[in-house]
């Protein structure tokens, strides 16, 4: 279990430090960065699949239904990645962290609305608190925090799609990036032909970072997959807040994004919602289960 926790901490810490990585490529348009992230990720993943002699198993798992499911997943994760990278380099790191703070609560709400799951009475309280936080921030920002909501919704729905998806994490991400690979390649070829391509034109450091986008996408995902197999889901649920916490701290402490008292109130409502949510969940699962009376008892 200790090994699983270390894998989980490493994965979420890498995700939490993503803003620093993307800021190093601030001079490259976000859509080009996503093109490289998709392209290099797919090449690395397909190399792993082939190198570990899983190609026949991977190819045998493909069928029309699987392709349909992963086409939807690919679009969702593509929109999520593009929104995130653009927001980080446009100076909205704090707002991106808000999206990933509210994502677990939104996932619960989506389960109720789309999968007809039922919530316990006290589970509605944190959802109401999170909604209050978003509404408050809407008024204080003077606009809907659309970056946070788009990140939360795309990743939340992506999670729902993955819930019915038949493939494991390695095969799944390989297929998702494979679906997006040709469009990404065509786009990168187009901007290169127009003389607007960044790759091989902005210095070797930028080139290495763009190639490395595939590595920083794949490594934490594989670490997370290993972690999820070794530790309970409840522990994974706690560890997942490492990423948005690090993102938030990077935005405020490193990049000096504005975080005044009004934003503090809105974020505090969301943080309180998360505390209430996990506390209620902990108490519920720790409560003793009364034995079912046998026939003849009572």
pLDDT at 11 over 80: yes
| Residue 146 burial (10 A CB sphere; 0-12, 13-18, 19+) | middle
36 and 216 Cβ atoms separated by less than 8 Å: no
Listed in order, strand segments (DSSP E) in the chain are none
pLDDT at 200 over 50: yes
Residues across the chain: 298
pLDDT at 205 over 70: yes
Judged by DSSP in three states, 200 sits in coil
Domain boundaries, the chain: 2-105+150-259
Cα-based angle 36, 29, 160 (whole degrees, multiple of 5) = 60
Which token pair is 200? 């091989």
Mean pLDDT check: name the lowest of 12-16, 17-21, 74-78, 159-163: 159-163
More confident residue, 160 or 48: 48
Q: How far is CA 127 from CA 104, 151, 289, in A?
A: 10, 17, 26
pLDDT at 277 over 90: no
pLDDT digits (tens, 9 = 90+) for 88-138: 999 999 999 999 888 888 877 887 788 777 878 888 888 888 889 888 888
Confidence of residue 281 (pLDDT cuts 50, 70, 90): confident
pLDDT at 298 over 80: no
Confidence of residue 287 (pLDDT cuts 50, 70, 90): low
Torsional sign, CA 228, 230, 233, 239: negative
Q: What is the pLDDT of residue 88?
A: 95
Q: What is the mean pLDDT of residues 183-188?
A: 96
CA–CA gap between residue 216 and residue 14 (Å, rounded): 8
Q: Average pLDDT over the chain, rounded to whole? A: 87
Judged by DSSP in three states, 257 sits in coil
Percent of the chain residues past pLDDT 70, beyond the cut:
93
More confident residue, 282 or 88: 88
Confidence of residue 46 (pLDDT cuts 50, 70, 90): very high
Q: What is the pLDDT of residue 225?
A: 75
State the DSSP code for 255: S
CA neighbor of 70 nearest in space, from 163, 176, 167, 194 = 176
pLDDT digits (tens, 9 = 90+) for 225-269: 777 777 765 566 677 888 899 999 999 999 999 888 888 998 899
CA neighbor of 279 nearest in space, from 129, 111, 96, 110 = 129
pLDDT digits (tens, 9 = 90+) for 152-184: 999 888 888 887 889 888 899 999 999 999 999
Angle of the 30-51 helix axis to the 204-230 helix axis, nearest 10? 60
């Amino acid at each position: 279990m200790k090994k699983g926790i270390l894998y989980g901490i490493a994965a979420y810490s890498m995700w939490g430090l993503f803003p620093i990585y993307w800021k190093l490529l601030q001079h490259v348009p976000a859509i080009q960065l996503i093109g490289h992230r998709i392209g290099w990720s797919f090449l690395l993943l397909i190399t792993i699949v082939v190198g570990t002699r899983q190609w026949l198993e991977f190819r045998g798992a493909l069928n029309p239904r699987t392709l349909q499911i992963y086409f939807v997943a690919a679009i969702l994760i593509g929109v999520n990645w593009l929104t995130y990278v653009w927001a980080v380099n446009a100076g909205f790191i704090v707002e991106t962290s808000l999206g990933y703070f509210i994502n677990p609560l939104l996932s619960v709400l989506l389960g109720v609305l789309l999968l007809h799951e039922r919530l316990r009475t006290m589970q509605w309280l944190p959802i109401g608190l999170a909604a209050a936080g978003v509404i408050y921030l809407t008024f204080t920002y003077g606009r809907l925090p659309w970056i946070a909501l788009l990140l939360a919704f795309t990743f939340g729905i992506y999670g729902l799609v993955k819930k019915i998806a038949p493939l494991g994490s390695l095969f799944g991400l390989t297929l998702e990036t494979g679906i997006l690979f040709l469009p990404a390649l065509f786009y990168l070829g187009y901007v290169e032909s127009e003389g607007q391509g960044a790759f091989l034109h902005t210095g070797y450091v930028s080139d290495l970072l763009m190639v490395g986008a595939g590595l920083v996408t794949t490594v934490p995902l594989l670490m997370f997959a290993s972690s999820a197999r070794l530790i309970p889901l409840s522990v994974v649920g706690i560890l997942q807040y490492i990423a948005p916490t690090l993102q938030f701290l990077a935005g405020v402490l490193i990049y000096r994004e504005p975080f005044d008292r009004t934003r503090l109130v809105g974020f505090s409502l969301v943080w309180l919602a998360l505390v209430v949510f996990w506390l209620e969940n902990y108490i519920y699962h720790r409560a003793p289960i009364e034995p079912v009376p046998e026939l003849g008892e009572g």
